[in-house]
């Protein structure tokens, strides 16, 4: 894959049931109640699909003119994706060889003591680093990860979200605003505002759910959403 195709990626998301609906609202990791979900667990647990996903991430990187030394997945949420993307990026590099690239991984729970390289990482990123998160709602895990990387002296050149739910945080900022206040560009491969109408048309969950989601976006969305 040489170029990132937005429509093709959106189809990949929908074909693999990453976006779906709940009859009864559930509590998200962010603490908010929602009638819709974004769950990347199935594609990232399948060898064929995660291989395809890494190719999308690499194409997206090139399309945005970025030249990182390292990809790093937010611990637990995007650990596997970060490791595999870094592995494939390194293998394709002209300077690939012994000692040319690291294969970093973060700790789900930081150690209480020690230097940042041991406290947060099982193999610390090096050089210009892109952080990958699967889903961003309020961006809490992503922001914590960026802070940990910066504490370790790592240059973070961008943060990617596979899907941005396009919600405002409790402080009224979007995830993009909150991340970029840390002087890190935030880029999303897909958007809840674009995916939801397509998912609603495909899955037909009913008008009551559509109305509930419209109300969610009225309350939390970076902009309003119409499904009906």
Domain boundaries of the chain, sorted by first residue: 6-220
What is the Cα–Cα distance from 8 to 111, expressed in whole angstroms?
40
Tell whether the torsion through CA atoms of 25, 27, 33 and 39 is positive or negative: negative
Percent of the chain with pLDDT over 70: 100
Report whether pLDDT(30) > 90.
no
- Report pLDDT for 186: 98
| Average pLDDT, rounded, for the chain | 94
Report whether pLDDT(76) > 90.
no
- Report pLDDT for 31: 84
Quick: pLDDT tens for 125-154.
999 999 999 999 999 999 999 999 998 999
Report whether pLDDT(116) > 80.
no
- Report pLDDT for 212: 96
Can you tell me the mean pLDDT for 72-100?
A: 95
The CATH class, in words, for 6-220 is: alpha beta
Tell whether the torsion through CA atoms of 178, 180, 182 and 188 is positive or negative: positive
Can you tell me the mean pLDDT for 195-202?
A: 97
Global pTM? Answer: 0.94
Neighbouring residues of 77: CB distance < 8 A, sequence distance ≥ 6: 133, 134, 135, 141
Q: Give the CA distances from residue 208 to residues 17, 115, 132, 150, 227, in Å, rounded to whole numbers and listed in that order.
A: 21, 52, 34, 45, 11
- Report pLDDT for 2: 80
């Amino acid at each position: 894959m040489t170029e990132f195709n937005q429509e093709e990626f959106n189809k990949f998301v929908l074909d693999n049931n990453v976006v779906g609906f709940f009859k009864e609202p559930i509590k998200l990791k962010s603490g908010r109640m929602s009638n819709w979900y974004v769950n990347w667990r199935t594609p990232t647990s399948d060898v064929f699909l995660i291989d395809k996903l890494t190719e999308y991430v690499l194409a997206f990187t090139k399309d945005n003119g970025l030249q990182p030394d390292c990809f790093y997945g937010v611990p637990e949420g995007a650990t596997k994706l970060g490791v595999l993307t870094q592995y494939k990026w390194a293998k394709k590099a002209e300077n690939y060889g012994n000692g040319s690239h690291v294969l970093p991984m973060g700790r789900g729970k930081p150690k209480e003591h020690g230097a940042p390289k041991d406290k947060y990482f099982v193999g610390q990123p090096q050089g210009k680093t892109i952080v990958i998160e699967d889903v961003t709602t309020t961006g809490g895990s992503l922001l914590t990860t960026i802070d940990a990387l910066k504490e370790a002296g790592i240059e973070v050149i961008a943060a990617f979200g596979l899907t941005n739910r396009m919600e405002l945080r409790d402080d009224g900022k979007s995830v993009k605003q909150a991340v970029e206040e840390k002087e890190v560009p935030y880029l999303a491969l897909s958007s809840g505002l674009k995916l939801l109408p397509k998912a609603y048309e495909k899955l037909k969950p009913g008008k009551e759910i559509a109305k509930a989601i419209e109300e969610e976006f009225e309350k939390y969305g970076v902009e309003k959403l119409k499904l009906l």
